[in-house]
């Protein structure tokens, strides 16, 4: 089996050594090429075979992380994980808009980084399989993947969606239209069922908000971030604290809210967060 190939870009001197040590101990099956500046990374991309994933810092001299990401996405369509000490709202918002795979705030555990790497690689391989399947269906699908069309259609206003369906039906052959009519009863049942589920979820969330709890749909639709921060205590000692954040898009703005211990004591909220993280809540969080 061919090992996934990663381009790791960070100007921090000790980062390469830590990653190499982690790979030796964990025996992760990755081929990693290291670059210590954005300029060096661009040269490697231009001269090397295709990479599966880009991992990059943001703040670097000459060519910073955002310039590198723009270059890699424009020329190689690379999935990207950001590692940076600058976990600002502006950076998170830009990462969201740029469709960055993950954003890890330094300091972070290498185990967490490689969990994110595995998810990104699995997602890429899954997407490739789906694309190949779609390509095999029709010649049109080779030009426009079905998933892309479906995602864009979901972003239309309801009235535009109805018009789109109407325009499509007008181009059907009679046999296609008759086949579609056969599907309508089962489609209606599914639509009714989904609408009832949405209405129940909205009612439940309204009750939760009135009781001072987080709405489940907000958490379910959000991006979950796990972040470690170092703070100095009154006695002058430095302590590391673990925080969980939910981030969601509201219009064109990226919103953020930290999760409290009381929030994660709610079994339903906790279940959603753990499902989205792909692992249990870190026990360290419970101690703060």
Task: Show me where the domains of the chain are located.
Answer: 5-133, 216-287
**Tens-place pLDDT, residues 173-213:** 888 888 888 988 888 998 899 899 889 989 999 999 999 89
Q: How far apart are CA 134 and CA 145, in angstroms?
A: 7
In tens, the pLDDT along 91-119 reads: 888 888 888 989 998 888 888 888 888 88
Span 5-133 CATH architecture: 3-Layer(aba) Sandwich (3.40)
Quick check: 57 and 9 in contact, CB under 8 A?
Answer: yes
Residue closest to 212 by CA, chosen among 277, 260, 274, 280: 260
> CA-CA-CA-CA torsion for 48, 53, 58, 63, nearest 10 degrees?
20
DSSP string, 116-167: HHHHHHHHHHHHHHHHHHHHTT-HHHHHS-HHHHHHHHHTS-HHHHHHHHHH
Look up residue 27 and give its two tokens: 């025996």
Q: Is the pLDDT of residue 233 over 90?
A: no
CB atoms within 10 A of CB 226: 19
The model's pLDDT over 37-72, given as tens digits with 9 standing for 90+, comes to 999 999 999 888 788 899 999 998 888 999 999 999
Q: Which of 230, 236, 255, 253 is nearest to 245 (CA)?
A: 255
Could you give the 3-state DSSP secondary structure of residue 233?
coil
Host H or E run for residue 255: strand 253-259
Q: Both tokens of residue 55?
A: 């991992």
pLDDT at 40 (0 to 100): 92
pLDDT score for 145:
65
Give the model's pLDDT for residue 7. Answer: 93
Q: Residue 49: how many CA atoms within 13 Å on its side-chain side?
A: 4
pLDDT for the residue numbered 77: 83
pLDDT reading at 121 higher than 90: no
Place of tokens 């009135």: 210
Integer Cα distance of 54 and 43 in angstroms: 14
């Amino acid at each position: 089996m061919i090992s996934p190939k990663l381009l790791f870009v960070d100007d921090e001197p000790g980062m390469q050594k830590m990653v190499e040590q982690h790979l030796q101990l964990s025996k992760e099956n990755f081929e990693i090429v290291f670059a210590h500046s954005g300029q060096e990374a661009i040269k490697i991309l231009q001269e090397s075979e295709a990479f599966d994933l880009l991992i990059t810092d943001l703040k670097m001299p000459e060519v910073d992380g955002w310039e590198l990401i723009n270059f890699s996405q424009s020329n190689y369509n690379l999935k990207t994980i950001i590692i940076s000490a600058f976990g600002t709202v502006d950076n998170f918002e830009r990462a969201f808009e740029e469709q960055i795979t993950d954003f890890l705030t330094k300091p972070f555990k290498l185990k967490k980084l490689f969990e994110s790497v595995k998810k990104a690689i699995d997602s890429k391989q899954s997407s490739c399989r789906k694309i190949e399947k779609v390509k095999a269906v029709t010649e049109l699908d080779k030009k426009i993947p079905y998933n892309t069309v479906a995602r864009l259609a979901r972003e239309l206003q309801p009235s535009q969606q109805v018009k789109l369906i109407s325009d499509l039906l007008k181009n059907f052959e009679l046999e296609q239209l008759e086949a579609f009519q056969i599907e309508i009863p089962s489609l209606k049942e599914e639509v009714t069922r989904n609408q009832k589920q949405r209405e129940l979820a909205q009612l439940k969330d309204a009750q939760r908000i009135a009781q001072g709890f987080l709405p489940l749909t907000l958490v379910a639709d959000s991006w979950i971030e796990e972040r470690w921060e170092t703070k100095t205590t009154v006695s002058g000692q430095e302590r590391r604290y673990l925080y969980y954040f939910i981030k969601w898009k509201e219009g064109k703005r990226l919103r953020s809210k930290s999760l409290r211990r009381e929030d994660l004591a709610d079994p339903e909220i906790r279940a959603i967060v753990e499902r989205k993280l792909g692992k249990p809540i870190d026990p360290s969080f419970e101690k703060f």
